[in-house]
Structure 1
Amino acid sequence: MDAAEVKSSLCEVIATVQELSGLECPTLDGGTRPARDVKEFSSVVWPFAIKMLEDKIDIEIPEDDNLFYDVETKIALSIDQCVERVMMLSNNQRQHKKEKEASNE
């Protein structure tokens, strides 16, 4: 999985959430900040969107990880920033899995 695949999947998930909510979805690009730029895309639907993304790209995102919002800076994150977070999680999980497999040998 690369960043382009994650970005595409994330955009599909956001569009699906909007469709299921009966809301229009704006054009999504790397600079779009879903929590700010997508109508009613708030903390109420984020867990649902995160679960959909997890299933779509086969990754585990910790429940306390707020993928769409930086709690320290209180800034809504862009799609590109969300993708960076997912890639970092994916890389960490892959590394942890390799280390675990190596220790079992």
Structure 2
Amino acid sequence: MECRELSGAIKPVESLPKFDRKVWLAATTILATEIGATIPDDVNIFIDETTKLPRSIDETAAFVGDLLNKQSEKEAAAA
């Protein structure tokens, strides 16, 4: 099987075969583990909740960064 080259503009939900809900969950868990962060189970990082459109890899990275910043701000405010 040929491996597709990935770029930041790729939208995994649209462009990668078999990238379904089960894979999204596994990918999110692996990402959270690798970056040492918590990504809530009810957050789909690959689909924009407002527009319901798939995010690109770059958009997903920016979304996760924003999510982690918001979590840090909440933790700092609670301390």
Q: Which has the higher helix share?
A: 1
- Give the match for residue 65 of structure 2: 87
Q: Which deviations, in whole Å up to 9, do the C-alpha atoms of 1:61-95 show, x marking residues without a partner?
A: 11111111124423111001101110011111221
- Give the match for residue 55 of structure 1: 33
Q: Which structure 2 residue ranges, 5 or more long, are not aligned?
A: none
Bigger Rg, which one: 1
Q: Compute the RMSD of aligned alpha carbons.
A: 1.6
- How many residue pairs get matched? 79
- Give the match for residue 97 of structure 1: 75
Q: Which structure 1 residue ranges, 5 or more long, are not aligned?
A: 1-22
Once the two structures are aligned, what percentage of the paired residues are identical?
A: 33
TM-score using structure 1 length: 0.67
- Equivalents in 2 of 1:25, 1:62: separation in Å? 30
TM-score using structure 2 length: 0.85
